[in-house]
Amino acid sequence: MEDQQLGDKIVKALKTIYDPEIPVDIYELGLIYDVFVNEDQDVKVLMTLTTPNCPVADSLPQEVKDKVASLEEVREAEVELTFDPPWTRDLMSEEAKLELGFL
């Protein structure tokens, strides 16, 4: 499978995960900083949370890992949590800002 197709599938999976406090998916919210796929189809997702003491700090990264790992093309999934740079509203997509009334 081509990397671009797998990348699209991963993004699609990530768009099914919502922040419990904000009615926008984590991808549009800007919580996903990067997705790496190596030639063995191992996936690493670099993500953040809206705040370090977010109530879903334990469950959200696990949900991301489980969703990505559930794709049949993915051999292994790993999630790395970072707070550098810290999340801000500027990272949200135009769609998310519109949805939340920031535009």
pLDDT tens-place string over residues 8-56? 999 999 999 998 888 899 999 999 999 999 999 999 999 999 888 888 8
> What's the token pair of residue 49?
């949370």
Residue with tokens 């197709």: 5
Task: Return d(Cα 27, Cα 37) in angstroms, integer.
Answer: 17
The reply to whether 67 falls in a domain is yes
The reply to whether 100 falls in a domain is no
CB atoms within 10 A of CB 4: 9
- How many domains, in total, are found in the chain? 1
The reply to whether 62 falls in a domain is yes
pLDDT on residue 94: 95
Is a pLDDT exceeding 80 seen at residue 3? no
Q: Is the dihedral of CA 90, 92, 98, 100 positive or negative?
A: negative
Task: Return d(Cα 103, Cα 97) in angstroms, integer.
Answer: 6
pLDDT on residue 4: 81
pLDDT on residue 2: 67
Q: What is the CATH number of the domain that holds 47?
A: 3.30.300.130
> How high is the mean pLDDT of the chain?
92
The reply to whether 11 falls in a domain is yes
The reply to whether 95 falls in a domain is no
Q: Is the dihedral of CA 89, 90, 96, 102 positive or negative?
A: positive
By the 10 Å C-beta count (0-12 exposed, 13-18 middle, 19+ buried), 16 is classed as exposed
Domain hosting residue 37, numbered range: 3-87
